[in-house]
Amino acid sequence: MNFSDARRAVITGARRHPWRTAAAVCVPVLAASVITGTTMASARPAPYLAVSSSALNAAPAAHVLNFGSDPAKPVTDMKPGAVSIRESFNEDGCDHDYGEANQCVPWKIPGSTPQAQCAWLASNGFGALKVYGTNRQHLPEDAQGYVCATGA
């Protein structure tokens, strides 16, 4: 029997008995995975960084916008009568009367009572908040001007 006859016999046997062929392929693979403790799904390439380690540890470049660098162009002024667009002060959803400059205390704190609102603030990482404007949410305030402070 030559090579092409042997190949034809294997393919014909696989077509006649597909379950035997699947078992002949899967059983050795399964046995190897049980013995080695790995599966074919766990064989993944090693991760690597797309940048070099020196570029990763380098100082970031300065963020410079290059839109006003042509001194030959005339400066454009606003047209007379142009009106700026008015935005409400709570456009971002934050109540800026409470907390530090970069804190975003929600404009509407969840909770039906001031104590529930303070509990919500505490559970979301807010401590005692300094009141810089009006205590419009009527949270319990201490003598130093902090709301939701312990014992307030």
**pLDDT digit string (tens) for 93-106?**
888 888 887 888 88
Q: Which residues of 21-33 are buried (b: 16+ CB within 10 A; e: fewer)?
A: eeeeeeeeeeeee
**pLDDT (tens digit per residue) in 29-85:** 667 777 776 665 655 667 676 777 787 777 766 665 555 556 566 666 666 776 666
**Cut 0.85: pTM above it:** no
Largest CA distance in the chain: 101
